[in-house]
Every structure is written in C-alpha cells, then in structure tokens.
Chain A
Amino acid sequence: MTTDLDHEEFDRLASLYAVGALNASERKLFETHLELCHTCVGEVLLLLPVAHGLTRAVPHHDAPAQLRARVCKADTDSPTKQATPVKSASSRIVFNSAAAVCLVVAGSLGWYAAQQHNMARLLEENLDAANDRAVIAEIQAAVALAAQQEANQRTEILTAQDLIMVGLSSYPVAPGSRGRVYWSNEQGILLTASGLPPAPVGRTYYLWFVPVADPVSGGPLTLDNEGRITAVVTAPVGVSVPVPMAVTLEPDNDITAPSGEAYLFGRGIN
C-alpha cells in the first residue's frame, strides 16, 4: 500500500475510476494502488462493464439523414487512399497515454508480462527492423508465453461471465487482514488476501473449503513480503460455490485437516 487511505476509500475510488470521475492526481494515486492491489483490480474489472453499459442506456434517437450524408459524403469526398497494405487493427502497435492506462489494469493482473511487453516494444523501436526480425519474434513469443503464464488465468477468472465474489473477513488475530475469492465454475478460483502477518518458520497458510462435511484443503498459500496472497486454486471434486471458506495457519507438513488458527473466513453467497 502506498498511501494512508483505508481500503474502503479505495473501494469508492474504484467506482469513480470506473466512470472516469477522478481528477488527474486522484487517478494517479489510484493507478499506483492498482499496481499493488489485486482486489481493486478485480473490483474495477467488475465495474467496467457497468460503466460501459451506461452509454447504451441513453434514450434512443434516430440519427438525422443529414448526419449519414455528412459521414458517408465526407468519406467519398476525400481522395480515396490506395490500397496500401496496413497492419491489421489487431496487430497495430499503438502506445499512448490511454494505452498506458490499459496496461495499468492489464498489467496489474500480470505486471511482469506487461513490463516485458513494454520492453519488447522499446526494443522493437530501437532495433534495426530489417536485421533483427528474428530477435523481435523471439521476444514477442516470450512475451506471449509470459503473459499466458502470468496473467491469462487470472484474467480469465476475473472476467468470467459466471464470476461470483466471496469476501473473506478477518479474525481478531489479524484484524487488518482481508481477502476475497473470485469463483468461476468455468474458469477457476482466484484468492486474493492482504494484511496477513508473515508465517512463522515451519508454518504455512492454507485455504480450506468447508462444506457440510469435513473441511477440504485448497492447498498451501504463499505469502509475499507485503503480507499478500494471490493464488489460483482448484476446487476439490464435489465442492462448488456457495461454500464457506477459511484461511488458517498450519504446520508446514502436508496436512489433511485444519488444526491451526483461522485468519480469514467467508461464507459463499446464495
């Protein structure tokens, strides 16, 4: 976290960001936060379709014939360009400030891949294109692979049509912690958490699914230096949302049932 704002404030900023209502300094602050907070990235990705949908919710008006004439006439009046091959839209490299914004969102999902992408772009600009096509192709292939490994799975989950979010609340043992599970039956499960204390030597955080029967392990979780977890996990066979979930601190060895202290807990929603 780069500011003293509590996270509720960032929740509100996420909404304002999604509708473009932050001023330049607020926007910069929030985008810095986005680089660190996967929870907010997920929130923005959920709010964006709503913001985009607003453009379609306006009252319908038929455009006047005058507009059609001006748009189509403007085109026919202009010298028709020769059919010089241009790069297809999908392959065109465009980099401007707006695209940088795109990279903040996409990059927060896979910052490593985004950084590699930038690096590849800069290299492409500086290399002699005629001599170094092979090098560029290799870089692009590496970028594609990194992106695939680093970000795609999380992006798939966060943008899944059947996405369900489950908030995880903290226990008194770590009152500043919080977490969220993004559950898509189609794409998988993403767990994000923050504010967790470092695991003592010999102990590891574990995720548990707690159906009516005995808890089922979601596997060990790796905490980064900032007390955050970002993990894609697989639902055990027979477990589907809504199901209560918990994060506990357990001995390092391979365990099959929780015995340690719980740090986060959330109930699936119906």
Chain B
Amino acid sequence: MPANNLSQPPLSARHEGDLVDRFVQGDDRAAVELYERHGNILFSLALHIVSDRSDAIDIVEGVFQQVRTGVYHYETSLGSVENWLLQTTRLHAIEYLRNRCDSTQDSEMATAQLPRPTRHQKLGICSKEEVSRLRNLLIAMPKLQRLALELAYFEGLSARQIAEQLEHPIETIKEKVHEALLTLRATH
C-alpha cells in the first residue's frame, strides 16, 4: 500500500472520471485502484476530524459505499477525484460530529458546504512541497488564528459558534479566519 497518495502517478481528469465510472459499475479492479490512490488521505482526514479510528473507518467506508451506489455523482467539472472525495469525507465527518453532539437543529450552524471549484487543475494543492509549506504555516500560526480556522473548517462551526466556544467577540473570530487564510495563501 502506498504510504502517501502523493506517490501515485497522477491521472488525467478524464481517466479519473473513467476510474470512478468503472467503480460505480462494479469493476473490482477500479475499487482497489480508487482505494489505493485515495484511501490513506481520506482516512487521515476523517481521523483528524473525528479523533477516533473506528469512526474514521466507518466514515471512509461510507463515502466509498455512497459513491458506489450513486448517492454522489462525480463529474470532472467538480475538480479532481481526490479533492471531491476529500470534500465528501469532510462533510461526512462533520455530520458525524454533529450527530454525536445532537446539534443538527441549530440555526447558527455553518453549512459546511464549500463552493465548488470551477477549474480543478488549479484549485488543489498537490505537490509535496506545497503541502509541507502549508503545514509549516499552520504550525507557525498564532494559536487563536489556527484554532478559529480549524474549528471552522474541520468541525463545521459558524463564526458565532466559534466565538462562543473560544470566548472571543464574533468580529475577532471573523478577522482571525480571514487573516489565517490570507497567511496560508502564501503557499500559492
């Protein structure tokens, strides 16, 4: 099993789409290839969000199942398959967290939905160097900025919910998320 998906040779968007199509049609080899390309990174993301290996396994398995049964449809305009799977996994994991907290009726809850990329080739950080730079920037980031960003992105909290949790004014939280993203934009 590859240690990291970055070690896999990239597929063209068309071949990625074909791979998903074959997976949906029940092609066993496509299932293995799709998993080996993306399984590790999806599991890492799910584990980061829910902090429980067993739950993370359930979440990633659920994502693959829902793709296979056609609940989620992939089309190349949505971006790379990996970005699409990552976003699907993120949403599943956030939903999982919300069910744990039974807070799904909160009108203040963030939608957690991200805008869809319009041109996938240029909307994903792909190289090891870029990922490494992004991690370093996150590590070096002021604590409040990083916390606000991570609560927003990985836990699907709205600015108001983050403000309550961190006991800071909502305007401060909005500003911190904004500053954090501007800092990370330096990776591009």
Residues of chain A at the chain B interface (Cβ within 8 Å): 11-27, 44-64, 66-68, 70-72, 74-76, 78-81, 83-84, 86, 88-92, 94, 98-99, 101-102, 104-106, 109, 155, 159-161
The CA-CA distance from A257 to B91 in the complex, in Å, is 55
* Nearest CB in chain A to that of B5: its residue: A56
Q: For B182, what are the chain A residues with a Cβ–Cβ distance below 8 Å?
A: 15
Instruction: Say which residue of B74, B116, B130 sits within 8 Å of A98 (CB atoms).
Output: B116
- Please tell me if the beta carbons of A52 and B124 are within 8 angstroms of each other in the complex: yes
* Nearest CB in chain B to that of A103: its residue: B116
Instruction: Say which residue of A53, A61, A83 sits within 8 Å of B25 (CB atoms).
Output: A83
- Please tell me if the beta carbons of A52 and B53 are within 8 angstroms of each other in the complex: no
Q: How far is the CB of B12 from chain A (nearest CB, A)?
A: 11
The CA-CA distance from A84 to B17 in the complex, in Å, is 16
Interface centre among A11, A63, A104 (most CB of B within 10 A): A63
Which secondary structure dominates chain B's binding surface? helix
- Please tell me if the beta carbons of A19 and B41 are within 8 angstroms of each other in the complex: no
Q: For B32, what are the chain A residues with a Cβ–Cβ distance below 8 Å?
A: 72
- Please tell me if the beta carbons of A58 and B44 are within 8 angstroms of each other in the complex: yes
- Please tell me if the beta carbons of A61 and B43 are within 8 angstroms of each other in the complex: yes
Which secondary structure dominates chain A's binding surface? helix
- Please tell me if the beta carbons of A50 and B185 are within 8 angstroms of each other in the complex: yes
Q: How far is the CB of B105 from chain A (nearest CB, A)?
A: 12
Q: For B122, what are the chain A residues with a Cβ–Cβ distance below 8 Å?
A: 49, 159-161
- Please tell me if the beta carbons of A11 and B178 are within 8 angstroms of each other in the complex: yes
Q: Does B114 contact A (CB under 8 A)?
A: yes
* Nearest CB in chain A to that of B157: its residue: A21
- Please tell me if the beta carbons of A20 and B112 are within 8 angstroms of each other in the complex: yes
- Please tell me if the beta carbons of B115 and A90 are within 8 angstroms of each other in the complex: no
Q: Does B95 contact A (CB under 8 A)?
A: no
- Please tell me if the beta carbons of B48 and A58 are within 8 angstroms of each other in the complex: yes
A23/B108 contact (C-beta < 8 A), A50-B185, A92-B73, A155-B118 known:
yes
- Please tell me if the beta carbons of A89 and B185 are within 8 angstroms of each other in the complex: no
- Please tell me if the beta carbons of B110 and A67 are within 8 angstroms of each other in the complex: no
- Please provide the chain B residues from 34 to 68 with a CB less than 8 Å away from any CB of chain A in the complex: 35-36, 39-45, 47-48, 53, 57, 60-61, 64-65, 68
- Please tell me if the beta carbons of B75 and A49 are within 8 angstroms of each other in the complex: no
Q: How far is the CB of A142 from chain B (nearest CB, A)?
A: 19
- Please tell me if the beta carbons of A53 and B45 are within 8 angstroms of each other in the complex: no
Q: How far is the CB of B77 from chain A (nearest CB, A)?
A: 7
- Please tell me if the beta carbons of B185 and A23 are within 8 angstroms of each other in the complex: no
- Please tell me if the beta carbons of B48 and A47 are within 8 angstroms of each other in the complex: no
- Please tell me if the beta carbons of B76 and A89 are within 8 angstroms of each other in the complex: yes
Q: How far is the CB of A124 from chain B (nearest CB, A)?
A: 16
Q: How far is the CB of A204 from chain B (nearest CB, A)?
A: 32
- Please tell me if the beta carbons of B114 and A19 are within 8 angstroms of each other in the complex: yes
- Please tell me if the beta carbons of B57 and A64 are within 8 angstroms of each other in the complex: yes
Q: A49-B117, A67-B57 are known; give 10 further A-B pairs, CB within 8 A.
A: A19-B152, A53-B130, A53-B184, A56-B131, A60-B41, A67-B61, A71-B60, A81-B26, A90-B76, A105-B115
Instruction: Say which residue of A50, A54, A62, A76 sits within 8 Å of B3 (CB atoms).
Output: A62
Q: How far is the CB of B84 from chain A (nearest CB, A)?
A: 10
Q: Does B20 contact A (CB under 8 A)?
A: yes
Q: How far is the CB of B162 from chain A (nearest CB, A)?
A: 8
Q: How far is the CB of A33 from chain B (nearest CB, A)?
A: 13
The CA-CA distance from A74 to B32 in the complex, in Å, is 11
- Please provide the chain B residues from 6 to 48 with a CB less than 8 Å away from any CB of chain A in the complex: 13-14, 17-18, 20-21, 23-26, 28, 31-32, 35-36, 39-45, 47-48
- Please tell me if the beta carbons of B157 and A55 are within 8 angstroms of each other in the complex: no
